[in-house]
Structure 1
């Protein structure tokens, strides 16, 4: 179970890092033109950049805190925050009629639920 949680956290961290770097460093206009990025055309540049930075921090919170032994309790806390982010993403994509992206967000949400449940529960770093 511990290995599965590490793998899930690593996968989710890779997703968060990729999305975060993209939102932080790619111009909003270019994001808006990309598949799945249409929502950025309706959001402010500051909002998109802040979301990107938060996703980069989530990537660190999902893996680095435990790997370095610095506040490993942040792993499940970060997973819960990711769950909330994915709910927002699902609502946003759902309103735009992007059901395929809602399904992708649901997979990410499920990974985060698995991580939060495992790290708050039987495979806690504090136990």
Structure 2
């Protein structure tokens, strides 16, 4: 995917070691979010995904409506309760730190993958 097609970022935080990931996504449409997460999860087929993550907890936005289809015997999908930011507090904190470098009003299209990775380190 070229940067010109990227308009959204999906963030994931591994709770135990605080590994924070930012995945570029073509749009906030549920199908694009599901495809992006599916592609990312497939990168771990050779390495046992269960060693990395057993659950994903998403907020209740429409962009996550289709991700329950990614659930399988080794990965469970949960949805945070509405207005319960504390259930995703560590991810929300890291999102706030990311937004210090890339504010919401800045288009992600203009931010290179290299810059994004440098911010995440």
TM-score by length of 1: 0.26
- CA radius of gyration, larger in: 1
Task: Kindly indicate which of the two structures has a greater share of residues assigned to strand.
Answer: 2
